[in-house]
Amino acid sequence: MTLKQKTFTAFLVMLLLPIVLTAGAAVLGMRFEVMRFKQEYDVDVTALEVINSPAVVLSRMTQTAFSELSNAAAFDPSKFTDVIWLDEADEVLNNKFSYLVVIKGEVPTYIGQRGTEFASISERVIMSSSTGETTTSNAAVLFNDRKVIIKFGAIYFSDGVRGSFVIVSDLGPMLSASRGRLIFTFAAGGLIVLIVTVVLMMWVYKSLLRPVLALRNATRELGKGDLNYRLERKEKDEIGEICANFEEMRRHLKTQIDAKEQYELDVREMVSNVSHDLKTPLTAIKGYAEGMLDGVADTEEKRAKYLKTIAVKANDMTTLVEELSYFSKLDTNKMPYKFEIIDANGYFSDCVDEYAIELEMKDFEIHFVSEIEPGTLVSIDTEQIRRVMNNLVGNAVKYRNNDIHGIMNVRLTDANDSVRVSVSDNGIGISKTALPHIFDRFYRADKSRTAGRAGTGIGLAIVKKIVEEHGGRVFARSELGSGTTISFTVKKGAK
Q: Which amino acid, 454?
A: A
Residue 378: per-residue pLDDT? 95
In a domain, 227, yes or no: no
Whether 356 and 445 map to the same domain: the answer is yes
pTM of the predicted structure, to 2 decimals: 0.47
Strand segments, DSSP code E, in 16-161 are: 98-104, 107-111, 139-143, 146-156
Last residue of a domain, one of 292, 312, 329: 329
In a domain, 60, yes or no: yes
Q: Which amino acid, 241?
A: E
Q: Which amino acid, 28?
A: L
Number of domains the chain is built from: 4
Whether 350 and 474 map to the same domain: the answer is yes
Give the CA radius of gyration of the chain.
55
Report CA-CA distances (Å) from 241 to 207, 217, 238, 414.
Answer: 13, 17, 5, 46
Neighbour-count burial for 8-19, b at 16+ CB within 10 Å, e otherwise: eebeebeeebbe
Whether 83 and 109 map to the same domain: the answer is yes
Whether 418 and 465 map to the same domain: the answer is yes
Whether 437 and 408 map to the same domain: the answer is yes
Whether 147 and 187 map to the same domain: the answer is no
| Domain enclosing residue 111, as ranges | 53-170
Whole-number Å distance between alpha carbons of 321 and 341 = 31
**Inter-residue contact 427 to 484 (CB < 8 Å):** yes
Residue 153: per-residue pLDDT? 86
Residue 363: per-residue pLDDT? 87
Whole-number Å distance between alpha carbons of 386 and 392 = 10
Whether 90 and 153 map to the same domain: the answer is yes
In a domain, 230, yes or no: no
CATH code at 442?
3.30.565.10
Last residue of a domain, one of 300, 329, 358: 329
Closest by Cα among 126, 67, 137, 54 to 97: 54
In a domain, 209, yes or no: no
Q: Check residue 457 and report its DSSP letter.
A: S
Instruction: Find the farthest-apart pair of alpha carbons in the chain and give their distance in angstroms, rounded.
Output: 178
Report CA-CA distances (Å) from 155 to 70, 166, 441.
Answer: 8, 10, 122
Whether 381 and 413 map to the same domain: the answer is yes
Last residue of a domain, one of 295, 329, 363: 329
Whether 344 and 481 map to the same domain: the answer is yes
Whole-number Å distance between alpha carbons of 388 and 229 = 42
Helix (H, G, I), strand (E, B) or coil at 79: helix
Neighbour-count burial for 188-212, b at 16+ CB within 10 Å, e otherwise: bbeebbeebeeebeeeeeebbeebe
**Inter-residue contact 194 to 173 (CB < 8 Å):** no
CATH code at 72?
3.30.450
Q: Which amino acid, 166?
A: V
**Inter-residue contact 114 to 94 (CB < 8 Å):** yes
In a domain, 231, yes or no: no
Strand segments, DSSP code E, in 242-363 are: 340-343
Whether 47 and 58 map to the same domain: the answer is no
Beta partners for 410?
368, 423
In a domain, 215, yes or no: no
Residue 355: per-residue pLDDT? 92
In a domain, 378, yes or no: yes
Whether 363 and 449 map to the same domain: the answer is yes
Whole-number Å distance between alpha carbons of 365 and 377 = 27
Phi, psi of 420 (to 5 degrees): -95, 130
**Inter-residue contact 103 to 131 (CB < 8 Å):** no
In a domain, 214, yes or no: no
**Inter-residue contact 427 to 420 (CB < 8 Å):** no
Whether 77 and 189 map to the same domain: the answer is no
Kindly list the averaged pLDDT for each block of 10 residues, start to end, along the chain of length 495.
Answer: 64 71 72 70 66 72 87 90 91 85 86 68 58 46 62 86 86 68 71 78 71 80 80 69 80 84 75 74 86 83 87 81 74 79 95 90 92 94 92 91 91 94 94 89 59 63 91 93 94 84
